[in-house]
Structure 1
Amino acid sequence: MEKQLFDVAIIGGGPAGLNAALVLGRARKKVAVIDEGRPRNAVTREVHGFLTRDGISPSEFRRIAKEEISAYPSVSFVGDTAVSIVGTDGQFQIETEQGQIFASKKVLFTVGMKDRPLDIPGLADVYGKSAFVCPYCDGWELRDQPLVIITKGAELMHFAPIISGWTNRFTVCTNGPDELTDADREELKRKQVPLFDSPIRHIDSSHGIVQQVVLEDGTIVPCRGIFFKPELVTGSDLPRTIGCQITEAGEIVVDDFGKTNIPGVYSAGDATSRMHQAIAAASRGAFVAAMINNELNTEAWRRNG
């Protein structure tokens, strides 16, 4: 099969990858966006905090983005999964699950993060409907409502003051040992925050709206919403496979310009940050795309004398 030649192969078609494609298309670069079409935020109904797009569904967001990018014919969308990458800076070869082969000068990973299986019975039924991970994305819709917060330890003590800006009616369920200090427990007690460390038996809901959290010791906590800390892994194993440095939290390590430790390989978006917001990912995708374009143009300038 004949290789298709590109300036940049973007692996992942979320906000970071799409905005990168837009910037590179406008920079007259030949780009392939390789995306399997299974975004993490597909479980949610709406995207929030994105100026001019607040409240849009994830699928409509992508539809509009692709429509706008279609004005730049050098950008191609490939509905497939990248399964291998070999080569070096300027001469990468990407093979997909369907056997397509792409040659590309640079690679940009915008693979995001994905959730590990949710091990709390009933949580999957409410995730994206009344159970969320980010109050900046979904706190407004649950303002002043009775909530359950599922997290523990230092993460809890960071999260509790933040969520209090949306509601002071929340109960903490740590789903096992709370991993708190005595001082932490005393602080929560002073703030009149109920704290339960019994494991969660199941979450009861109706049509995706949580009704109560039932603990193994028989405690029942009525609520209208949940915020929880998910367990995440990088959205693709390819960065690790080709030698990109990965943190213990599963994030791809990049410098200030989006470069990984592999020459010619960049990354942007949720896979490189704990700030998992669509607008933040899109912004970073645009910036890193400009850095890639600068590198390509400088290389061409010097190569041509």
Structure 2
Amino acid sequence: MEKQLFDVAIIGGGPAGLSAALVLGRARKKVALIDEGRPRNAVTREIHGFLTRDGITPSEFRRIAKEEISAYPTVSFVADTAVSIAGTDSRFQIETEQGQSFTSKKVLFTVGMKDRPPSIPGLVEVYGKSAFVCPYCDGWELRDQPLVIITRGAELMHFAPLISGWTNRFTVCTNGPDELTVTEREELKRNQVPLFDSPIRHIDSSDGIVRQVVLEDGTTVPCRGIFFKPELVTGSDLPKRIGCQITETGAVFVDDFGKTSIPGIYSAGDAASQMHQAIAAASKGAFTAAVINNELNVEAWRRN
């Protein structure tokens, strides 16, 4: 594989990268999909909101996707981690952790984002089982249940009305100062939302199912589920290291066509968007792949 010139190197094998590989494979482009096999949603039991795949496990989703893509012989799967990229548009050199080397005309980053949960004792034990970050992904399973919401400030005032569509039985634990205005506290009170700003001591659970949140002041909040706001970091710092422009939220900056600030390098999916759902990532991956394919075709056409 080392001596081949690929049309596109896709770095990251989640929904965006897999969708892009499918589109490019069908467009008869030679693709290397480089993925380390450690997806963001590895802790979750099921993917939801993805038409025809609602409730599927992440591992089964990837297995089916790879099986479908394997029908197109120009796509190669590489179980490795890209660690460096050099070169310019039409000839990039990608080096991997295991010492492999790939040359590609275009590069597509679909490295995703990773959740960095707050350091709360007991949260790791329930994360992905009864503690989640996205109600569109997991709200249905916790509908009408008593929940604890762990967030604060502006994010809380966005999330409280959102989660109320799934349950009105929720308590907010801000794990420290709530960062709210008097008006915002009154809004929560009008909607009968209990608010506690004492730091969280620990989360009690049994077999991954939360039982209660215990606060430092001795308050206990019984619940059957948790939604929390994690810190999000990109799945790889490679885009930043090679000079791609990064947004204030830590995402890779792209234009409406998935192009980064570096010619010939694109990004799609969670790493380049605020819409962190599997189906949205797959959609962006497919769209950006079509943009790349068109650019490759135009470049070849103009060389004739």
TM-score for the superposition, normalised by structure 1: 0.98
Q: Partner residue of 2:280?
A: 280
> What is the match of residue 291 of structure 1?
291
RMSD of the alignment, in Å?
0.9
Q: Which runs of 5+ in 2 are unaligned?
A: none
Q: Does 1:84 align with 2:84?
A: yes
Equivalent-residue separation in structure 1 for 2:48 and 2:210 (angstroms): 21
CA distance, structure 1, for counterparts of residue 223 and residue 274 of structure 2: 27
Mapped partners of 1:262, 1:183: distance in 2: 45
Displacement of 1:141 after TM fit? 0.1
Paired residues of 2:3 and 2:102 also in contact (CA < 8 A): yes
Aligned equivalents of 2:211 and 2:202: distance in 1?
Answer: 11
In the alignment, residue 139 of structure 2 is paired with which amino acid?
Answer: G
Aligned to 1:62: 62
Deviations 1:114-143, CA, capped at 9 Å, x for gaps? 122541111111111000010000000000
Report how far residue 3 of structure 1 moved.
3.1
Contact 2:214 2:220 in 1 (8 A): yes
Q: Does 1:142 align with 2:142?
A: yes
Letter in 1 for 2:28: R
Aligned position for 2:171: 171
Q: How far apart, in 2, do the equivalents of 1:75 and 1:263 lie? A: 23
The 3-state SS of whatever aligns with 1:280 is: helix
Query: Equivalent residue for 1:158?
Result: 158
Following superposition, the deviation at residue 249 of structure 1 comes to 1.3
3-state SS, counterpart of residue 271 of structure 2? helix
Name the amino acid aligned to 1:254.
V
TM-superposed CA distance for 1:273, in Å, is: 1.1
Residues 40-99 of structure 1 show CA distances to partners (whole Å, capped at 9, x for unaligned) of 100000000000000000000000000000000000000000000000000100000000
1: distance between equivalents of 2:181 and 2:301? 59
Contact preservation (8 Å) 1:260, 1:266: yes
| 1:1-305 alignment, distance < 5 Å | 2-116=2-116, 118-304=118-304
Count of residues paired in the alignment = 304
1:10-52 Cα distance to aligned partner (Å, 9 max, x none):
0000000000000000000000000000001000000000000
TM-score (norm. length: structure 2): 0.99
Secondary structure, counterpart of 2:248 in structure 1: coil
Aligned-partner Cα distance in 2 for 1:2–1:40: 29
* Cα distance change, pair 27–187 in 1 and its aligned pair in 2 (3 A): same
Q: What CA distance in whole angstroms lies between the structure 2 residues aligned with 1:192 and 1:289?
A: 47
Percentage identity across paired residues of the two chains:
88
Structure 1, unmatched stretches of 5+, are none
Query: What per-residue deviation string (whole Å, max 9, x for no partner) do you get for residues 144-193 of structure 1?
Result: 00000000001100110010000000000001100000000001011110
Alpha-carbon offset, residue 2 of structure 1: 4.2
Contact 1:251-1:272 at 8 Å conserved across structures: yes
Query: What is the distance in 2 between the residues matched to 1:268 and 1:145?
Result: 35
Amino acid at match of 2:128: G
* Partners of 1:228 and 1:3 in 2: CA distance: 47
Letter in 1 for 2:227: F
Deviation per residue, 1:191-247 (Å, 9 max, x gap): 110000011111111111001001111110000000011101111010000100111
1:243-291: per-residue Cα shift (whole Å, max 9, x none)?
0011121100000000000000000000011111000000000000000
